[in-house]
């Protein structure tokens, strides 16, 4: 029994905290449904599963996208309890039910729009025209360019709290020279990489108004001139504190507004989807976009060793269109 418990714990530990939390919420909802209808828990027959889905959607007003996540969690717990997934959850009737419920849902407005290269150029112009102090402007410009050309998630270059952990969060030492015209950012971990296998992100000197090389290098020189430690946070506020996600989002909204862009339509994730959108518009292949965004870690690792020039060319294409440079 101890070995079984240990293996179950290891399986749960393989999931990200957010995914595990969502799965557990689904399991608790499933349990509450059983209690409400005096059913023996857990029951995985088709009638119980479809009734739970209908109850969650029509009574609890839970959208089908969330129900789908809940079912994945319920299926995981079924595997842990009985050693195999629930046949009912993968039954065609369940898929048809969810499809029918989804069609009845009102369409939601998109939570975030892509911050494409033309919008990024407007934000950079706002910063270079003097948004705040020179240090804050330099910090934010470096963050914007790194996020865009690195196809980064906000969590990959900011901290969720004021506590800095050099083993998990970006540090000054994570950016180094790869060659005379290329910087390398060491991405310690990402949402899709829970094992902490680092990936290099390359930033090139481009013949473009949006070239990330010089602004980021200037920011690093500024930090090192203040005798910062290599393990200090990569991005800090003017008072020396780690640049948190909240701090970044606050300034992003202000800069968007000053640039004539509706801030409520964008978020930190808009840089990543904006880079992907711009790349697609420029005719960059789907495979290369997946490599740039690290949607497949294995593909990225295999690609960079022999095709770094293709990544450089993709950055050239992204930076050159369609705002036309400045």
Contacts of 195-203 spanning 24+ positions with Cβ under 8 A:
196/168, 197/297, 199/294, 199/297, 199/300, 199/301, 200/304, 201/146, 201/149, 201/150, 201/152, 202/178, 202/304, 202/308, 202/311, 202/312, 203/145, 203/146, 203/149, 203/150
Helix axes 117-128, 134-149, angle to 10 degrees: 170
Domain residue spans of the chain: 16-104, 117-320
Over pLDDT 70: what percentage of the chain? 91
pLDDT band (50, 70, 90) for residue 92: very high
Least confident stretch, 66-80, 103-117, 152-166: 103-117
Q: How confident is the model at residue 323 (pLDDT cuts 50, 70, 90)?
A: low
pLDDT band at 228 (very low <50, low <70, confident <90, very high): very high
What confidence score (pLDDT) does residue 286 get?
85
Q: Which fold has domain 16-104?
A: DNA polymerase; domain 1 (1.10.150)
Angle (CA) 183-184-189 rounded to 5° is: 150
Give the mean pLDDT of 142-151.
97
Answer yes or no: is pLDDT of 33 > 70. Answer: yes
CATH class of 117-320: mainly alpha
Q: Which of 19-28, 86-95, 112-121, 307-316 has the lowest mean pLDDT?
A: 307-316
Helices assigned H by DSSP within the chain = 2-13, 17-36, 46-58, 64-82, 92-104, 117-128, 134-149, 213-225, 245-258, 270-281, 286-292, 297-304, 308-320
**Residue 300, pLDDT above cutoff 50:** no
What number is the average pLDDT over the span 92-117? 89
Give the model confidence (pLDDT) of 40-85 as tens digits: 999 999 999 999 999 999 999 999 999 999 999 999 999 888 888 9
User: What is the reported pLDDT for 15?
Assistant: 75
pLDDT value for 299: 47
303 or 96: which leads in pLDDT: 96
Using an 8 Å Cβ cutoff, are 190 and 156 in contact? yes
258-283 pLDDT, tens digit per residue, is 999 999 999 999 999 999 999 999 99
Which of 1-5, 191-195, 303-307 has the least mean pLDDT? 303-307
Contact 131, 137 (CB under 8 A): yes
Q: Please state the rounded mean pLDDT for residues 195-214.
A: 88
Q: For the whole prediction, is pTM greater than 0.75?
A: no
| Res. 162: pLDDT tops 50 | yes
Looking at residues 24-40, what average pLDDT do you find?
A: 96
Average pLDDT over residues 146-161: 94
């Amino acid at each position: 029994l101890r070995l079984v418990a240990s293996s179950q714990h290891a399986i749960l530990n393989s999931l990200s905290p957010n995914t595990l939390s969502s799965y557990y919420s689904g399991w608790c909802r499933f349990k509450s449904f059983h209690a409400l209808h005096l059913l023996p828990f857990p029951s995985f027959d088709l009638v119980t599963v479809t009734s739970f889905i209908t109850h969650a959607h029509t009574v609890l007003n839970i959208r089908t996208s969330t129900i789908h996540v809940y079912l994945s969690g319920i299926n995981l717990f079924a595997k842990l309890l009985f050693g195999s997934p629930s046949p009912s959850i993968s039954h065609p009737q369940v898929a048809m039910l969810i499809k029918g419920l989804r069609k009845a849902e009102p369409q939601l407005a998109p939570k975030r729009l892509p911050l494409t290269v033309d919008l990024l150029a407007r934000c950079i112009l706002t910063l270079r025209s003097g948004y705040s102090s020179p240090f804050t402007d330099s910090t934010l410009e470096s963050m914007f360019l790194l996020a865009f050309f690195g196809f980064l998630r906000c969590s990959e270059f900011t901290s969720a709290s004021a506590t800095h952990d050099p083993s998990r969060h970006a540090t000054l030492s994570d950016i180094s020279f790869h060659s005379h015209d290329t910087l390398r950012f060491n991405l310690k971990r990402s949402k899709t990489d829970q094992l902490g296998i680092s990936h290099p992100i390359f930033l090139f000197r481009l013949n473009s108004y949006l070239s990330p090389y010089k602004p980021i290098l200037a920011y690093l020189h500024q930090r090192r001139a203040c005798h910062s430690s290599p393990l200090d946070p990569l991005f800090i506020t003017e008072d020396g504190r780690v640049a948190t996600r909240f701090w970044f989002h606050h300034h992003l909204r202000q800069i968007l507004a000053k640039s004539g862009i509706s801030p409520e339509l964008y978020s930190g994730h808009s840089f990543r989807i904006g880079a992907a959108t711009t790349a697609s518009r420029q005719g960059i292949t789907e495979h290369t976009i997946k490599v740039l965004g690290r949607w497949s870690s294995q593909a990225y690792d295999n690609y960079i060793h022999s095709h770094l020039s293709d990544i450089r060319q993709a950055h050239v294409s992204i930076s050159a269109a369609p705002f036309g440079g400045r």
